[in-house]
Amino acid sequence: MVKHMKSNRLPISFEFFPTKTEAGHEKLINVARQLAELGPEFFSCTYGAGGSTRDRTLSTVLQLDSEVKIPTAPHLSCVGDSKAELRELLTLYRSKGIRRIVALRGDLPSGMGLSSGELRYANDLVSFIREETGDHFHIEVAAYPETHPQARSFEHDLMNFVRKAKAGADSAITQYFFNTDAYFYFVERVRKAGVEIPIIPGIMPITNYSKLARFSDACGAELPRWLRKQLEAYGDDTASIQAFGEEVMTRLSEQLIEGGAPSLHFYTLNQAEPCLAIWKNLNGI
Ligand code: FAD
């Protein structure tokens, strides 16, 4: 049984992706309005590496920020974008009063080499944003408690994370994970390396087994055997998958909060219900 706890004061944030259609966009704004009721610290909106969603990310961020009235952070990735293109976006966001940004290397669609773009790694982008805009932006970077899938080793990846913090990142959001030990160990090692920035766990609600398995393979998040077996056993029974997923993610969130996580960042996949359900459980509502 999930032990419900009071955590009203825990800061939360929600991530969206820009949609391709007008109908999808309207739905996204509706979802954002529902989640805005929970008083999140910020929203964020993803960016297609190489600029594929440049205009849609921009317009979504500005609408969430000005109409839904939650400070919204654009994600910005450096592979595939020139310095001039990045500078232009930074200037635009700054002129619109945007104060937070999620700075990433990004993943280019297959076929485009990693060398496209003038900045190679996220630490280069963080340095560039600081050079161009000083302290204007609160910069978030990505963290990988289970190690980035292309990293040479855990230690090398940890060193590269430290590099991003030293380049000027203010806080970090993790890739999602289902093993809290990985998160706590990562945080401990970052602290031992002398870096004190908050490391916010990324929470992925479980709603669909095949999509989750595909995502997890691609991004290097481990789907533990017990979880996989249980989800497989539910087959097409979506209601049971969702109820089980809600319980698992509530429990994981509770463990993170009890262990000292500074905040929770939800990967909403543009859906309100799974996040609302976890939030209600956490708050005993
Ligand atoms: P980096 O920190 O640059 O690391 C990438 C790899 O290079 C790692 O293996 C690292 O160990 C290594 N490395 C880093 N720096 C150096 C260096 N100086 N020298 C040698 N090796 C180095 N992707 C998108 O395309 N759009 C998004 O909007 C988006 N949002 C995300 C949000 C979050 C919270 C997270 C966790 C990921 C997101 N991603 C997004 C995915 C991300 O872009 C990919 O995981 C990408 O492969 C790595 O990006 P990064 O910023 O972590 O890269």
pTM of the model: 0.96
CB of 77 within 6 A of ligand 1: the answer is yes
Which distant-in-sequence residues (6+ apart) come within 8 Å of 37 by Cβ?
Answer: none
CB of 109 within 6 A of ligand 1: the answer is no
Tell me, in angstroms, the distance from the centre of ligand 1 to residue 30's CA: 30
Alpha helices (runs of H) in the chain, residue ranges in sequence order: 22-36, 54-63, 83-95, 122-133, 154-167, 180-192, 209-219, 225-234, 238-258, 273-282
Report which of 220, 59, 44 is spatially closest to residue 140, judged by C-alpha positions: 44
- pLDDT value at position 112? 61
Tell me, in angstroms, the distance from the centre of ligand 1 to residue 106's CA: 6
Q: How does DSSP assign 138-181, residue by residue?
A: EEEEEE-TT--TT-S-HHHHHHHHHHHHHHT--EEEEPP-S-HH
Task: Decide if 129 contacts 75 (C-beta within 8 A).
Answer: no
Q: How far is CA 14 from the centre of its chain?
A: 8
- pLDDT value at position 266? 98
- pLDDT value at position 114? 53
Query: What positions carry a catalytic annotation?
Result: 15
Domain ranges of the chain: 12-282
Q: Which atom of ligand 1 is nearest to the CA of 144?
A: 36
Q: Provide the residue-wise pLDDT of the chain in tens; the chain has 285 residues.
A: 344 444 456 899 999 999 999 999 999 999 999 999 999 999 999 999 888 899 999 999 999 999 999 999 999 999 989 999 999 999 999 999 999 999 999 987 766 655 567 999 999 999 999 999 999 999 999 999 999 999 999 999 999 999 999 999 999 999 999 999 999 999 999 999 999 999 999 999 999 999 999 999 999 999 999 999 999 999 999 999 999 999 999 999 999 999 999 999 999 999 999 999 999 999 877
Q: Which atom of ligand 1 is nearest to the CA of 124?
A: 18
Q: Which atom of ligand 1 is nearest to the CA of 174?
A: 36
The pick from 104, 183, 216, 267 for probing ligand 1's pocket by mutation, whose C-beta has the most ligand atoms within 8 angstroms, reads 104
CB of 148 within 6 A of ligand 1: the answer is yes
Local structure of 72: helix, strand or coil: strand
d(CA 189, CA 195): 9
- pLDDT value at position 49? 86
Task: Decide if 81 contacts 52 (C-beta within 8 A).
Answer: no
In Å, how far are 43, 98, 262 from 11, measured between CA atoms? 12, 19, 7
- pLDDT value at position 55? 94
Would you tell me which CATH number, out of the four given (3.30.465.10, 3.40.50.300, 3.20.20.220, 3.40.640.10), belongs to the domain 12-282? 3.20.20.220
Tell me, in angstroms, the distance from the centre of ligand 1 to residue 128's CA: 16
Task: Decide if 74 contacts 101 (C-beta within 8 A).
Answer: yes
Stretch (H or E) spanning 202: strand 202-203
Q: Which amino acid is at 201?
A: P
Task: Decide if 202 contacts 176 (C-beta within 8 A).
Answer: yes
Residue with CA at minimum distance from ligand 1 atom 24: 106
Tell me, in angstroms, the distance from the centre of ligand 1 to residue 283's CA: 33
- pLDDT value at position 50? 84
Q: How far is CA 225 from the centre of its chain?
A: 24
